[in-house]
Amino acid sequence: MTTELDIVQDWRVFATDHTLVRVTLTADTAVVIWSDGRETPLHRYFLRDNCTCSQCYLPLTREQLFEITDAAADLTFAEAAIDAAGDLVVRWSDGHVSRYAPGWLRSHAPDDASRAERRAARPRPFIWGSEYADALKSFDYADIMADDSTLWAWLSALRSAGMTLVKNVPVEHEALLAPIARISHLRETNFGRVFDVKSKPRADSAAYTSVNLPAHTDLPTRELQPGLQFLHCLINDAVGGESVFVDGFAIGEAMRAHHPAEFATITTTQMAFWNRDDRTDYRWTAPLIALNSDGDLEEVRFANFLRGPIDAPAGQMDAIYAALRLFQAMCRDPKYFIERRLAPGDMWAFDNRRVLHARREFDPQTGERHLQGAYVDRDEINSRWRVLSRELGEPC
C-alpha cells in the first residue's frame, strides 16, 4: 500500500508489499512488526530525525528543516500506533506528532535483515573480459537522441558494464555534444570543453602524439577523475591507432581472488600522478585501485605516462613494484582486453574511473587521424538515470 506520505518524503515512490501490523515501545525504541513477521527496531532519534511534518520538513524542496540536536535529551514516546491509513503515528513526550509511511519505513529499516536485503539488491557491476567484444553494448545515435527509453538503456549499460559504443554519430566537429547534452553538462578541463586527439606539433600530452598509449584512465592527476569519457571518431586513416579497453574492475577482482598480497598493496599504496606543462601543474596522489567502505571496488586510477616516482619506504619498494608490474601485465593480457578500430561516426562512451583505455601506436605519415573527446562526471549520469527511471517507472 502506498500512501501520500510515501511520495512526500522523497521524489521516489516507496511502494511496498508489506504493511505495518503492530508497534511496541521501550524507553528509546519503537519496534514495528510487519505483515511478513519481520521486526524493525526504530530508535527514538531516528524517528524524530525523520519527521516530515511541515514544521520539521520543507515540502517545497523535500528537505529537512529540523536539527536533531534540538530534540530534548530525554525525549521519549508518549504513544505510538498504526492508524487507519496504515502509517505509523508517534506522539512524543513534548507533544509533537510524527507520521511515517510503511513504504518509506521499510525502505530505510535499520534491522539486519532489511539492511542485508538492500545490500543484496544493490546493482553489481557487470564485469567483463575479452569475450565482451562480441557482446559490447552498442546504441544508435538517432535512437539516443529521440527516445528516452534508449537513453535510459544506454545510461544503464554505462552504469553496469561501464563500456558502450554509439554508432552513426554525425561525422562533424563537436557532434558528440548532442548525445552528451541528452545526459547533462560537460566536465570542462584545461584541455578544453572538447579536446581534439590528433598528432600535434607542440603536444602537451603523450595523447597528442602518435605513440602507443598504454592502458590508462584520463586525468588521474585530478582529485576527481572525470567519470565518463566520450571519444568520437572523425577521421581514422592512419595505419595503427586501434582502441583497446580493459575492465579495471575485472583486473581488481582477479587480483583480489588470485593475488591477495598484491591486491592489498595496490589498494593501499599512494601513487603520484602529474600533468605539467608551461601553463599548468596538476598533481594528485591516491591508490591505483580505491575501495569503498564495504570493500567493493570503487575506482581505478592509472596512467603510466603521468606517473610520478613512487614515494614509499625503501623496504616496501619490492612489494609495491611486484603489485604494479602484475597490474600492468594483466592489462596487457589478451584475456582482459577488447581491441577494435574506430570508424568515422563511432563514439566510445565509457566509465573513465573504471575502464582503462589504450591506443596502439599509429603512423601519421600514412594518413590523418582525428578524434574528439569530452568528459561528464559520474554524478551527472547517475542523476539523469534516476530521473529517467522515475519517469519510466523503473526502480531506482
User: Would you tell me which residues interact with ligand OGA (CB under 6 A)?
Assistant: 197, 207, 213, 218, 241, 243, 357, 359, 371
Alpha-carbon distance of 118 to 40, in angstroms, equals 14
**Which of residues 154 and 195 has its CB atom nearest to ligand OGA in the complex?**
195
Alpha-carbon distance of 375 to 180, in angstroms, equals 9
**Which of residues 68 and 116 has its CB atom nearest to Zn ion in the complex?**
68
Give kind and range of the element (H or E) at residue 108.
none
Shortest reach from residue 217's CB to Zn ion, in Å: 8
**Which of residues 243 and 269 has its CB atom nearest to ligand OGA in the complex?**
243
Contact 155, 391 (CB under 8 A): no
* Cα 330 to the center of its chain, rounded Å: 23
Examine residue 331 and tell whether it contacts Zn ion (CB under 5 A).
no
361: its cell numbers: 601506436
Shortest reach from residue 366's CB to ligand OGA, in Å: 15
Alpha-carbon distance of 298 to 47, in angstroms, equals 31
Burial 321-356 (b: 16+ CB within 10 A, else e): eebbebbeebbeeeebbbeeebeebbbbbbbbbbbb
* Cα 117 to the center of its chain, rounded Å: 21
**Which of residues 21 and 206 has its CB atom nearest to ligand OGA in the complex?**
206
Secondary structure letter of residue 215 according to DSSP = E
Task: Give which of ligand OGA, Zn ion, none residue 53 binds (C-beta under 5 to 8 Å, depending on kind).
Answer: Zn ion
Task: Give which of Zn ion, ligand OGA, none residue 51 binds (C-beta under 5 to 8 Å, depending on kind).
Answer: Zn ion
**Which of residues 193 and 258 has its CB atom nearest to ligand OGA in the complex?**
193
Task: Give which of Zn ion, ligand OGA, none residue 197 binds (C-beta under 5 to 8 Å, depending on kind).
Answer: ligand OGA
**Which of residues 197 and 300 has its CB atom nearest to ligand OGA in the complex?**
197
Alpha-carbon distance of 213 to 137, in angstroms, equals 24
Binding characters for Zn ion, 206-225, by CB under 5 A (x = yes): ------------x-------
Which residues neighbour 354 within 8 Å (Cβ) at sequence distance 6 or greater? 125, 162, 247, 248, 249, 297, 299, 300
Examine residue 81 and tell whether it contacts Zn ion (CB under 5 A).
no
Residue from 8, 21, 56, 291 touching Zn ion (CB under 5 A): that is 56
Alpha-carbon distance of 381 to 158, in angstroms, equals 9
Examine residue 51 and tell whether it contacts Zn ion (CB under 5 A).
yes
| Site residue total, Zn ion (CB under 5 A) | 4
Q: Closest Cα to residue 388, out of 156, 166, 59, 161?
A: 156
Which residues neighbour 352 within 8 Å (Cβ) at sequence distance 6 or greater? 217, 218, 219, 225, 226, 227, 228, 229, 375
**Which of residues 1 and 171 has its CB atom nearest to ligand OGA in the complex?**
171
Binding characters for Zn ion, 174-213, by CB under 5 A (x = yes): ----------------------------------------
Shortest reach from residue 137's CB to Zn ion, in Å: 20
Task: Give which of Zn ion, ligand OGA, none residue 351 binds (C-beta under 5 to 8 Å, depending on kind).
Answer: none
Shortest reach from residue 62's CB to Zn ion, in Å: 14
Shortest reach from residue 231's CB to ligand OGA, in Å: 6
Q: What is the DSSP string of 230-295?
A: EEEEEEE-SEE--EEEEEHHHHHHHHHHH-HHHHHHHTTSEEEEEEE-SS-EEEEEEESEEE-TTS
**Which of residues 80 and 207 has its CB atom nearest to ligand OGA in the complex?**
207
Q: Closest Cα to residue 159, out of 284, 39, 69, 249?
A: 249
Stretch that binds Zn ion, among 50-58, 77-85, 137-145, 346-354 (CB under 5 A): 50-58
Examine residue 8 and tell whether it contacts Zn ion (CB under 5 A).
no
Shortest reach from residue 63's CB to ligand OGA, in Å: 40
Examine residue 53 and tell whether it contacts Zn ion (CB under 5 A).
yes
Say whether 102 sits in a helix, a strand or coil: helix
**Which of residues 30 and 186 has its CB atom nearest to ligand OGA in the complex?**
186
The binding site for Zn ion (CB under 5 A) comprises 51, 53, 56, 218
